[in-house]
A and B are shown apart, each in its own frame.
Chain A
Amino acid sequence: MTRTTGVRPAPGTILAIVLGAGLPLAFVGVFFAWPVGAMVGRGLFADGALDLGGFGEVLARPRTLRLIGLTVGQAALASVICVLLGLPVAHVLYRLRFTGQRMLRALVVLPFVLPTVVVGVAFRTLLRDGGLLGPLGLDGTFAAIMLALVFFNIAVVVRTVGSTWEGLDSRQEEAARVLGASPQRVWWTVTLPRLAPAIVSAAAIVFLFCSTAFGVVLVLGGTRFGTIETEIYLLTTQFLDLRGASVLSITQLVVVVAVLLVAARARGRRTAQRRVAAAASARRPRLGDAPAIAVTLLVAAFLALPIVTLVLRSLRTADGWGLGNYLALGGTGSRNALVVPVWVALGNSLAIAVQATAIALLIGLAASLLISRRPRSAGLRRALGGFDGALMLPLGVSAVTVGFGFLITLNQPPFDLRSSPILIPIAQALVALPLVVRTLLPVLTGIDSRMRESASVLGSPPWRVLRDVDLSIGWRPVLAAAGFAFAVALGEFGATSFLSRPDRPTLPVVIFRLIGLPGGDNFGMALAASVVLAAVTVGVIALVERLRVGTMGAF
């Protein structure tokens, strides 16, 4: 009888496992699970004993019920609108071929990375008295919030559905047409079913983003409208009702996990489809595309309008047109609204975003490299699937919960980081991490594992296989993910607003502070600062778009 013998793992395998699984797990554990858990625990445990009474009490409050209903309703409605508008746009931008297409694609992805505070300010400018759409009387209404949510998230649908649609073999449609199906019937029976997983996945992510929307609702909703997220913020900061906040956090977590499961299932079904080269399926526009093109132009105008308004309004000062608002950015605002000049805040934002990008990229790359492996064992594959899902969680858990959780957990050894400047980059990296993973993973998963095996058998040690195969093929997505993470970190507001110190604020925090203290030049300065922040973001995204990485912003 031969004794059982395993192949001794190659040197470096242990290191790979530690880096691939250990590092991301430790990071997400210490900086996400622990703070969120502590935050949730605070609400559940009264005087050291489990007290679930809070659930009944908090959830029975009419205000809570109203906000939960509002959150779910508003997220569901926004998802439906995004899908209905996004499908024709995806068709035009990914199935047709015309000049100016790449610019339009860039325009669509732009709102997604615009800082929430900037979007809030832009919509306020557009909708308030004296604004372009002021006469409609939408300022402070539910419709205003809905417009902003659609503005933000339509990119998710267009990118996700578009990148799937682009790879669909059009010969199936042609086969159905030859068999006698009308174009409508082909759409309902052939195209739509094949797009369904992508649509479900995109809608789930939009739902997630909308139900946890914070900055934009805070700016536009005033006191009448809110989400669970803004309510958590109010309960923790204004009323110090940690129990209520904790119950709401758990409620939110349950919703988020359910939605993520739906999205993950849809993603799983999608990867089973065969893809063709994009060029094979694109064609020139025809007359029948006119309705879709019309919708696309309307959406493009809708996306451009707030941005254009913002820029124009920022150039208006009390004494007419001019750069006064921008010149004021060197100061600290009327009534000394700020502790430091806005330019300094921009510098802070850039420095912090660079650190956040580095962290998100390191962790995201390590995790993606691990998840992209396909082990033979079904158990290991399931474990990797669960790991993948866990990394998506920061996408949907209240940034406010995370931010506040940081304050109550990371204030004692071994992680006494409360006064450390690294806390904000870490929080921002958490927010960017899921986006990094979603950008890298499809590319790394697409690499045939036998290519790595070829290199390995030819004599490549594991680290070299990583460099010569994975990174050589995936360097564009890695760069794109870095730019994406940078843009997201730059605009992050929810967690940052908790953690930033008055003497070292980031630009979004400064903008929020400026619109909160109206009077004098403050609103004008907020507009100018928003334009600056948007311009930096746009610059980064324009660079990233040049890399032509289809997986960016697709879920």
Chain B
Amino acid sequence: METALQIDDVAVSFDGAAAVGGVSLQVGAGEVLGILGPSGSGKSTLLRAVAGLERLDSGRVRWHGDDITSLAVHRRGFALMFQDGQLFPHRSVAQNISYPLRLARTPSANRVAELLDLVGLPGFGDRRVTELSGGEQQRVALARSLAARPRLLLLDEPLSALDRELRERLAGDLRRILVDTGTTAVFVTHDQDEAFAVSDRVAVMMAGRLEQLGTPAEVWRRPASAAVARFLGYTTVLDADRARLVEPSATSARALRAAAVVVVDGGPPTATVLSSTPSVDGARAVLRVDSVGEVHAVAGPGHPLAVGDRVAVRFDRAGMAELP
């Protein structure tokens, strides 16, 4: 795959405080890269730096080999979509979508209708944007961003303001639309499910640094560090020695999700219940497993757990990840 966007050692700081500290990565033509990180990790700043909205302390941004570091924002031919759409409130849906077309002096009613179909809002052209629901506004914002066929689409937490059910549905739609249109995209989110659902590759950022870069499966199965694992939802990290007690073949540290430790009937009781909270399918518990230590665990509905109970546990490799 040909490299489209190349970021070399980019650093951005605000009043001396580093927000992004020397990040390098590449995005292939037609690829969707997800940048995943907690809030304050510098992921949005990196995205804005690519758009040309932030002043770089150092580093270079290249597009197909051309240095665009000092190219003005509006000449880059990119598009940027925000969490809350930022549609123009004084224009209709169609006028919002055709805005970039008119900037490019190629206004086309057909193209607007085509985009409305693409995002699943046929016939919405004459609506006022203030009448739309949050999900509809984001669809219109996506249509506006795609209208002039941007060389690169940047998305800043595009689904975060929506409720969960809508978010999951739109994540699927977004992936389909980006792939169908062959759009090269960089997508920023703090939600790993969203990142994995939409992206070809995922970059994990923490404290302004790039911690890991890989396919969703790679990042999920082999987090680069304990911090990355914790951010991805792994609740327990065991060093290599203790990991062997859980999984005899382990040669390095292991990260465990709660689902990796299951309370079972029968077998020798090897763990003490420290706390327990009911959940939809049973309970989530914190246990102290003999000679392993504290772990998060799940229990089925048939296990009423009381603090201090001695219980038997089974370890499930599917809920574990290998750490370096």
The answer to whether A and B assemble together is yes
Q: Mark B70-85, 1 if CB is under 8 A from A, else 0.
A: 1111111111111000
When the two chains form the complex, which single residue of A9, A453, A459 contacts B148, counting CB atoms closer than 8 Å?
Answer: A459
Q: A2-B60, A4-B58 are in contact. Are A458 and B79 (CB under 8 A)?
A: yes
| Chain A residues near B48 (CB-CB < 8 A) | 453
Whether the pair A7, B58 counts as a contact (CB closer than 8 A) is: no
Q: Does B53 contact A (CB under 8 A)?
A: yes
Q: A10-21: contact bitstring with B at CB < 8 Å (1 yes, 0 no)?
A: 110000000000
**Contact residues in A for B54 (Cβ distance below 8 Å):** 7
CA of A460 to CA of B74 in the docked complex: distance in angstroms?
5
In the docked arrangement, what's the CA distance between A455 and B77, Å?
12
- Bound-state Cα–Cα, A356 to B14, Å: 41
Does B309 touch A at the CB level, under 8 Å?
Answer: no
Q: Which 3 A-B pairs have the closest CB atoms?
A: A10-B72, A8-B70, A457-B80
Given the known inter-chain contacts A2-B9, A5-B70, please indicate yes or no for A459 contacting B56, CB distance below 8 A. Answer: no
B124 at the interface (CB under 8 A from A): no
What 0/1 pattern do residues 40 to 76 of B give for CB contact below 8 A with A?
A: 0000000010011111111110000000011111111
> B95-106 toward A: CB 8 Å interface, digit per residue (1/0)?
000011001100
Chain B min CB distance to A451 (Å): 4
* B15 interface residue (CB < 8 Å to A): yes
B255 an interface residue at 8 Å Cβ cutoff? no
B73, A450: Cβ atoms closer than 8 Å: no
Partner of A457, one of B9, B69, B78: B78
What residues of A have a CB within 8 angstroms of the CB of B76 in the complex?
457
Count the A-B residue pairs with Cβ separation under 8 angstroms: how many?
Answer: 98
Q: List 21 A-B contacts (CB under 8 A).
A: A4-B58, A6-B55, A7-B54, A7-B69, A11-B72, A376-B14, A376-B15, A453-B86, A454-B80, A454-B82, A455-B88, A456-B74, A457-B52, A457-B76, A457-B80, A458-B148, A460-B74, A461-B74, A464-B103, A468-B99, A473-B90
B-contact bits for A266-284, CB 8 A (1 contact / 0 none): 0000000000000000000
Please give the distance in Å from B210's CB to the nearest CB on chain A.
16
CB distance from B113 to the nearest CB of A (A): 19
Given A5-B59, A378-B15, A459-B77; 4 other pairs, CB 8 A cutoff: A454-B81, A457-B51, A462-B74, A468-B88
Cα(A455)–Cα(B15), bound, Å: 26
Q: Which residue of B lies closest to A459 (CB)?
A: B103
| Chain A residue nearest to B10 in the complex (CB) | A2
Are A10 and B86 in contact (CB-based, < 8 A)?
no
Q: Is the CB of B70 within 8 A of A453?
A: no
CB closest chain-B residue, reference A1: B58
Q: Is there contact, CB below 8 Å, between A469 and B9?
A: no
Q: Which residues of A contact B53 (CB under 8 A)?
A: 453, 456-457
A461 to B100, CA, bound (A): 12
Interface string of B234-273 (1 = CB under 8 A from A): 0000000000000000000000000000000000000000
CA–CA, A6 and B75, complex, Å: 17
Which residue on A lies nearest to B154, using beta carbons?
A457
Give CA–CA (A11, B51) in the complex, Å: 16
- Answer whether residue A448 sits at the interface, using C-beta atoms and an 8 A cutoff: yes
Report B-chain residues with C-beta under 8 Å of the C-beta of A462: 74
A464: chain B residues at CB < 8 Å are 103
Q: Is B6 an interface residue (CB 8 A)?
A: no
Residues of A within 8 A of B189 (CB): none
Collect the chain B residues with CB atoms within 8 Å of residue A2's CB.
8-9, 58-60
A3 interface contact, C-beta 8 A: yes
Q: Does A223 contact B (CB under 8 A)?
A: no
Query: Beta-carbon contacts of B8-48 to A below 8 Å, as 1s and 0s?
Result: 11000011000000000000000000000000000000001
CB-CB nearest in chain B for A4: B58
How far, in angstroms, from A457 to B73 measured CA to CA in the complex?
6
- Whether the Cβ atoms of B90 and A472 lie closer than 8 Å is yes
Residue of B nearest to A13 (CB): B72
Q: How far is the CB of A295 from chain B (nearest CB, A)?
A: 37
A377 CB–B CB distance under 8 Å: yes
* Chain B residues whose C-beta falls within 8 Å of the C-beta of A468 in the assembled complex: 88, 99
Nearest CB on B from A547, distance (A): 15
- Determine the distance from Cα of A125 to Cα of B89 in the docked complex, in whole angstroms: 50
CA distance A378 to B51 in the complex (A): 23
Residues of B within 8 A of A457 (CB): 51-53, 73-74, 76, 78-80, 154
Determine the distance from Cα of A454 to Cα of B144 in the docked complex, in whole angstroms: 10
Give the interface size class of chain B.
Answer: 35 or more
Tell me how far the C-beta of A4 lies from the nearest C-beta in chain B, rounded to whole angstroms.
6
User: Shortest Cβ distance from B84 into chain A, in angstroms?
Assistant: 8
For the complex, give the distance between the alpha carbons of A8 and B55 in Å: 9
Separation in Å of the B101 CB from the closest CB of chain A? Answer: 10
Which chain B residues border A451 with CB–CB below 8 Å? 86, 88
A458 and B144 in contact, given A4-B57, A7-B70 (Cβ under 8 angstroms): yes
B58 contacts A5, CB within 8 Å?
yes
Chain B min CB distance to A444 (Å):
14
Chain A residues lying within 8 Å of B72, measured Cβ to Cβ, are 8-11
CA distance A457 to B74 in the complex (A): 5
B15 contact set on A, CB distance < 8 A: 376-379
Chain A: minimal CB distance from B52 (Å): 6
- On chain A, the residues within 8 Å of B55 by CB distance are 6-7
Among residues 435 to 467 in chain A, which have CB atoms less than 8 Å away from a CB atom of chain B? 448, 450-451, 453-462, 464
What is the chain B residue whose CB lies nearest that of A458? Answer: B100
Q: Closest residue to A9 on the B side, CB-wise?
A: B72
Contact between chains at B80 and A5 (CB < 8 Å): no
Contact present for A5 and B89 (CB under 8 Å): no
Measured CB to CB, the closest approach of chain A to B127, in angstroms, equals 18
Report the separation of the CA atoms of residues A469 and B87 in the bound assembly, to the nearest whole angstrom: 10
Asked if A6 meets B56 with Cβ closer than 8 Å, knowing A450-B86, A459-B77, the reply is yes
Q: Quick one: closest A residue to B57, CB to CB?
A: A4
Q: Are A455 and B99 in contact (CB under 8 A)?
A: yes
**CA A267 to CA B247, docked complex, whole Å:** 63
User: Which residues of B are found within 8 Å of A455, using beta-carbon distances?
Assistant: 88, 99
Q: List residues of B (191-241) whose CB comes within 8 Å of A's CBs.
A: none
Enumerate chain A residues within 8 angstroms of B73, measured Cβ to Cβ: 10, 453, 456-457
**A475 and chain B: residue at smallest CB distance:** B90
Q: Which residue in chain A gives the minimum CB-CB distance to B89? A: A473
CA A456 to CA B100, docked complex, whole Å = 10
Which residues of A are found within 8 Å of B58, using beta-carbon distances? 2-5
Question: What residue in chain A is nearest B68 (Cβ atoms)?
Answer: A7
Across the interface, name the chain B residue whose C-beta is closest to A10. B72
B86 touches A460 (CB 8 A): no
Check A7 against B52 for contact (C-beta < 8 Å). Answer: yes
Asked if B184 is an interface residue, CB under 8 A from chain A, the answer is no
Listed residue (A5, A9, A377, A472) with the most chain B CB atoms within 10 angstroms of its CB:
A5
Residue B138 is within 8 A (CB to CB) of chain A in the complex:
no
B88, A458: Cβ atoms closer than 8 Å = no
Within the complex, the shortest CB–CB distance from B74 to chain A, in Å, comes to 5
Chain A, residue nearest B85 (CB): A454
Given contacts A5-B60, A457-B51, A458-B99, contact A450 B82 (CB under 8 A): yes
Q: Which among A8, A378, A457, A459 has the greatest number of chain B C-beta atoms within 10 A?
A: A457
State the Cβ distance, B155 to closest chain A Cβ, in Å: 12
CA distance A468 to B60 in the complex (A): 31
Chain B residues in 8 Å Cβ range of A6: 55-56, 70
Distance (whole angstroms) from the CB of B12 to the closest CB of chain A: 10
| Contact between chains at A10 and B88 (CB < 8 Å) | no
Contact among B9, B74, B88, B154 for A459, CB-based, below 8 A:
B74
